A and B are shown apart, each in its own frame.
Chain A
Amino acid sequence: MAEPSPAAPGNIWQMLDSYQPAPIVPDELVDAHGDLRPAWNDFLQYLSAQSPAVMESLFRRGDTYLRDSGVFLRQYTNEVSRERPWPLSHMPVLIHEREWDEISNGLKQRADLLERVAADLYGENTLVRDGFLPGRLIAESPEWLRQLVGVEPPSGKYLHFLAFEIGRGPNGQWWVLNDRTQAPSGAGYALENRVATSRIYAEHYANAKVLRLSSFFRDFRTSLLNLRRSPDHHVAIMTPGPYSETYYEQAYIARYLGLLLVEGEDLTVHKGEVHVRTVSGLQPVDVLWRRLDALYSDPLELEEGSKLGTPGLVGAARRGTVSMVNALGTGVLETRALMAFLPRIARQWLGEPLTLPNIATWWCGQAKERRHVLENVEKMMIAPALSTRMPFDPDETTVLAGQLKSSVHPTVQQLIDEEGTWLVGQEAVSFSTSPVFADGRLQPRPMSMRVFMVRTEDGWSVMPGGFARIGPEEGSTVLNMQKGGSVADVWIVSDNPVDTHTRLSDGTSAMPRARQGALPSNAAENLFWLGRYVDRAEGFARLNRAYHSRLADAEPPGSLLLRHLSGYMKFIGLDVADAMPRALVGAIDATSRTAGSVRDRLSPDGWAAISEIVETVHADKGEVTPGDETARRMVWLLRESSGFTGLVHENMYRFTEWRFLSLGRSVERLMALASALASFLHPNAPEGALDLALEYGDSTISHRRRYAFMASRLSVIELLALDPLNPRSLIFHLDELKAQVGALPGATENGHPSEVYAQTLRIHTNFRTMKAEAIDTNALLDFRAQIATLSDALGQAYMS
């Protein structure tokens, strides 16, 4: 990396020369006179000293970081979910601290107002009674939850963590576009964006007067912990699961904050209190940062069909034993039509106007407002009144700039006349622009921004920064924002040096990441199956390699040995008709799926390794020719896979989660190897089957070293079944199994083994005391069945 040369002032102007924002909207980089805004001064000076080639390499640094840490965007198109590279705009949005303070204060006022509205809607309902809110709108909102009416949260507060989408309008004033009160997403993305930009501009950022984000996250974690009733109770993030759009972010922030990440089925309500099912039994959970919409959080009292929730959760909330961040039912505050009434409520309750107004909104259920919307329809976006989605959500707008998007009504007039109660008109705002770096130069793009805040003991703490959305092309209307685009970091620039202390924990509030044994049973199950699937895929690949390498050596498919081998493969579900058998692809997909479900527990490198295997295997399908090419593919697969297992096993703290992974591997290995030996050591197996067994057991070299003669039935059994020093043998994995089960929570109580541990010990002793001669096909199949039973028993005891 070239050391940045001292900036020549001329360079900045050169950069700005071709930067031509539209005159009708404000721009974040330059003011109305085309002068650089002061917040950007240092940064632009740094930038202008870099050559285009250096800039490109800096950007690549950020992209590589994002790719390596597995940051991606999940998008749903036509019901198919796809992961796409994170669309980071390399240019952050810079805002001066003074201006930021104004924004923050405006948002704090708004947050306090929303808190009071929530308390009123779930309490006395004076707003409806006194005519400040139309009762019908609330009564018909799917987010106003009657089940929670009269239920006061344990902390007395409904809102603890909020996000606001804001944008700057034509007159330079910031507007609130949307309140996110239910389960705001994006704080983790803001953090990832910051890590990426701080790497891109590492040389500049280290000393830049840019406010750091860590204090905000420290506040956030402290606030969550303070909501507990007892210090040994848990705080958990409740996720809708790995298929959620923002699962990556949830897993990331769980790891960053050191909190449990749980799904609805990890939780259970016991004696009116929420618990997490762990491998050590039920443990109390006092605080749920919920990333799941309230409606889906309890199939007993809310959405009956929900598979994401926990039955009884509403009951626990009713009893006040669990704090929800935010309280169930707060989604009603996101209702679009509420924006039409908040300004008046603010004047009434606070005695002052909102200092940060929301975009002008008219509820078409009122005659005067309806007229206004119709008369100004060209400047309006008309959308469902009860919608809680973002104003630039493309599926949401019914009418934009006088154009009906699709409707059974022939005209806007008719639409509003008939459906007015359910519609709002909102001013079709334009956005300020901020620079992106494209085609080698800075170019203006429309921008909106998400700001986060958390309630602390000293009031609201606002994240000094945020998450900006950048429109894909010039023109700053809502329409442009709807087309998608990129995301950017937001830097709050101070005039003074900033605290660069970035560690999350300040030592006084250090908390162990997770309590001993606090491994949710579901996570344990996923880890167990991850261990099994990886090993299954490897076993399949080994058999497939054995088959195709023999084909490559010109052995005819009809030979006794290949017929025996393909027969066995078919028996376990591997069809040699496909060079890349479906069962193998299936095992790899299952590996990826289970790995995805415990993503908060895997290293990013491990995740990257498995993603690469999946991608390659799917790209290969149907295109690999049998014989040599397939054999080489299998060699590659085994190498990559051992890379993955290496990363996972080497990097995982030797604790309960690692034990389940290891257990899965040993169980799978024992079952697969016992079954393969039963076939290859069968008295009727053709010549060459013993070598096949050694090859499958990856013990050809060990055998050559230990037994200076041709493989015999006995020597193969000695090495693959009974040799405790061979890490590929049955006894080796049986020893491993015994050790791991013995170390699980509750394996021995008062010196007595638990049922499942006793079962393990019996199997172990039986096998250990067997003579080599007695190990025949029947004994092996019997042994396999015992392991299968043990696997079920482990599942019963720890994973359900």
Chain B
Amino acid sequence: MLYDIVCTISYKYRTPVWAGRHLLRFTPLELPGVQRAVAANLNVLPAPSERSRFRDFFGNQAHEIVFGNAHSEIGFSLKARVERLQHRLEDGASLALDEMPKALDRIQSLAPDSPLHFVGRSPRIRLSRHLGDYVEDRLPFNVSVLEAVRTLGRTLNSEMTFDATATSVETSHEEAFEARHGVCQDFSHIMIAALRSVGIPAGYVSGFLRTKPPEGQPRLSGADAMHAWVRAWCGPDLGWVEYDPTNAVDVGEDHIVVGYGRDYSDVSPVKGVLKAATAQESRQAVDVIPLETAS
């Protein structure tokens, strides 16, 4: 499926700020066989005094932007065309959950997709016995890792309420889980922490979600802003599998990947350091439109 994506993130400050330096991560990734980034243009207002880009450790595209002058408004807007290809999972290829520790012991790699980066704590994820028990109480015996991922995702989805106002980007996964509510970031963080707590390597995926559902299907939650979901490592054969706990679905053609990381902190769309911090108001608008004519 071919999509046109328009995403605008803007900030307004009560008093002018200066010497801002930002790291942006919101251009879609090129993923051979899965996703093709046909074109992408990132526009920044006001015109930055410096601008450069690099690939970060996990392979995400990062733009570094510097504003040399005082400004009271910033706007980042992305226009991109992306082709997302469908791919199918083979259930049988998943490792049994009990085999995971041994499989991890055999991993001798620190490459960006090595599961070893995704097993322990990371800046926004803490493992806990409480979460581990929560998962184990809900899993059948002799479960495969893939089944465990889907079961946990469905369980979280049914027990939690999607609430766009209850949490903020700073909310910890413990708080969100305690209250059983939140947005895609919270769903994803909770699921990652829970998976890691039972020894399943799990990471954070940021991206976009198709705004308008196909005929006859319900609109997916989280399509009004940038979206996030989870990827879990299901053993050496199946590898990484992506799952969207906010919608309780396997990730497919409706999801467009922007970044991979251990948690939100690795892929947050806008990171910034301002010389003077004043109250700010931020807005995000996203449109992900399928190009029917192109398919």
Name A residues whose Cβ lies closer than 8 Å to a Cβ of B: 125, 128-131, 135-136, 138-140, 146-147, 149, 268-272, 299-301, 304, 311-312, 315, 318
Contacts and interface: CB of A to CB of B under 8 A. Distances in A.
B56 interface: yes
A536 B280 CA distance: 37
B109 A128 contact: yes
Interface in B78-93: none
A139 B273 contact: no
Contacts of A271: 50
Given A300-B23, A300-B271, A312-B21, A135 B56 contact: no
5 contacts: A125-B109, A128-B108, A146-B57, A301-B23, A315-B54
A299 B120 contact: no
A270 B116 CA distance: 36
Given A139-B116, A139-B117, A149 B108 contact: no
B110 A147 contact: no
Contacts of B174: none
A275 B121 CA distance: 35
Contacts of A269: 21
A139 B120 contact: yes
Q: Which 9 A-B pairs have the closest CB atoms?
A: A146-B57, A311-B273, A139-B116, A140-B120, A135-B116, A311-B21, A125-B110, A300-B273, A139-B117
Contacts of B52: 272, 315
B54 A135 contact: no
A146 B114 CA distance: 13
Nearest to B50: A271
Contacts of B224: none
A135 B109 CA distance: 6
Interface of B: 19, 21, 23, 50, 52, 54, 56-58, 64, 66, 104, 107-111, 114, 116-117, 119-121, 265, 271-273
B4 to A, nearest CB: 31
Contact of B110 (A135, A270, A304, A315): A135
B273 A135 contact: no
B277 to A, nearest CB: 11
A147 B58 CA distance: 9
Nearest to A144: B110
Nearest to B62: A301
A125 B107 CA distance: 13
Nearest to A138: B110
A147 B57 contact: yes
A312 B114 CA distance: 27
Given A129-B108, A300-B273, A304-B271, 17 more contacts: A129-B109, A135-B107, A135-B110, A135-B116, A136-B116, A136-B120, A139-B114, A139-B119, A140-B121, A146-B57, A147-B56, A149-B57, A268-B19, A269-B21, A300-B23, A301-B23, A315-B54
Contacts of B111: 125
A761 to B, nearest CB: 27
A138 B114 CA distance: 12
B110 A128 contact: yes
A293 to B, nearest CB: 16
Nearest to B120: A140
Contacts of A315: 52, 54, 64
Contacts of A304: 265, 271
Contacts of A149: 57
B218 to A, nearest CB: 37
Contacts of B273: 299-300, 311
A440 to B, nearest CB: 55
Nearest to B104: A136
Nearest to B271: A300
Contacts of B272: 300
A139 B50 contact: no
A762 B265 CA distance: 52
A318 B110 contact: no
Contacts of B271: 300, 304
Contacts of A301: 23
A51 B8 CA distance: 83
Given A147-B57, A301-B23, A312-B21, A130 B108 contact: yes
B62 to A, nearest CB: 9
B149 to A, nearest CB: 21
